[in-house]
Amino acid sequence: MNRSAPERVTATVSRAPGTTPLGQAAKFTVLFVLAALFLLPMYVLLVTAFKPFDEATAARAWLLPQSWSLQGWAAAWDALAPGLWNSVQMVVPSAILSAVLGSMNGFVLARWRFPGADTVFTLFLFGMFIPYQAVMIPLQQTMVEAGLMGGLFPLILAHTVYGIPICTLIFRNYYATIPHTLIEAARVDGAGLLRTYRSVILPVSAPVFAVTLIWQFTSAWNDFLFAVFLTGPNTWPVTVQLNNVAGSMVVPYNQQMAAAVLASLPTLVIYLVLGRYFMRGLMAGALKG
């Protein structure tokens, strides 16, 4: 179906540029089929999560629950609550720290440059792409030797440091659109770096803070790799606990699916409510212009 679609659309559209009714109908058909495919996993998640234990079986896999039940949700909540709390405690400070550092860096790299600023920026950017595995063993060893492994600090530190590159990039691109004259004017008035940052830059930064905070919140919340290396049973964030719940063969499907929804709820709600900012984070710098 996918394969034939472009031609079909072409055939109708090329007759009259823009939108013929037939072309629109073909497009809608294709899009609805794709939307249904995209919704399939979401349907499974919700339907299974609301089934009682005895209904979460292979035979009734695709059917709606005969009796809607919260058993799965209750069990999932019990299993995940500590992880959810750990995640909150870890994500909030690291998102704030990355955003603040990113804002400072972005300002300097865009509008108060020093010799070698481009090199520093390039080296920062590469930090965005490196596989975390490449630092994991030394990082873990350092934390063990420093006696920090019992708490959330190692994970907060890792997310903060690895959030700096993307936050710097987002802030820098935004600050680059602030007119030079505005900053020159502040300089002429005798404002130093900090004054300029505080009185010219920070007041216009609120939307970008929203973008970076949301970005950092989402990526730290969804991270699994740093978490398995840098936390233990008492500090496991929600992704690790979800994997433990789902990975064990004895946990019924309704509880697994309810747990997956619970673990995803905070980021999904942010996406649905603040989608505009989420999008800007996604697009940050991925495009020219």
Partner 1 sequence: MSPHVAQAGAGTEGRPRPRTPGRLHRMRVRARTWLPGLLMVLPSILLIGVFVYGMIGWNTSLALSDQHAPVQDGSFVGLTNFAELWQESRWPAAVGNAVVFTAVFVGGALFLGWFLGLMLDKGLRGEAAFRTLFLAPMAVSFIATGVVWRWLMNPAPAERATGLNALFVQFDLDFLVNDWWTAPNMGMAAMALPAIWQLSGYIMALFLAGFRGVPEELREAARVDGCSEWGVYRHVVMPQLRPVTLSAVIILGHMSLKVFDLIIAIAGQQIVADVPAVYMWTTVFEVRDPAKGATIASYLLIAVAVFVIPYLVWTIRKERSEGR
For the chain, what's the residue count?
289
Binding to partner 1 by residue 1, rule CB under 8 A?
Answer: no
Q: Tell me which DSSP letter residue 64 carries.
A: P
Q: Tell me which DSSP letter residue 106 carries.
A: H
Cβ atoms within 10 Å, residue 100: 16
- Please, which of residues 68-127 interact with partner 1 by CB under 8 A? 101, 104-105, 107-118, 120-127
Binding pattern to partner 1, positions 173-202, x when CB under 8 A? x-xxx--x-----------xxx--x-----
Sequence-ordered list of residues with C-beta below 8 angstroms from that of 187, at least 6 positions apart, any chain: 196
Q: How far is CA 123 from CA 51, 52, 94, 168, 173, in A?
A: 51, 53, 21, 12, 16
Q: What is the rounded CA–CA span in Å between residue 266 and residue 256? A: 17
Binding to partner 1 by residue 250, rule CB under 8 A?
Answer: no
Q: Count of residues binding partner 1 (CB under 8 A)?
A: 124
Residue among 150, 207, 232, 275 that touches partner 1 (CB under 8 A): 275
Binding pattern to partner 1, positions 141-180, x when CB under 8 A? xx--------------xx-xxx-xxx-xx--xx-xxx--x
- Please, which of residues 205-234 interact with partner 1 by CB under 8 A? 215, 218-219, 221-225, 228-229
Q: Could you tell me the smallest distance in angstroms from the CB atom of residue 86 to partner 1? A: 15
Is the Cβ–Cβ distance between 112 and 193 less than 8 Å?
yes
Q: What is the rounded CA–CA span in Å between residue 133 and residue 121? A: 22
Q: Which stretch binds partner 1 (CB under 8 A): 65-73, 129-137, 145-153, 205-213?
A: 129-137
Q: Which stretch binds partner 1 (CB under 8 A): 1-9, 64-72, 78-86, 199-207?
A: 1-9
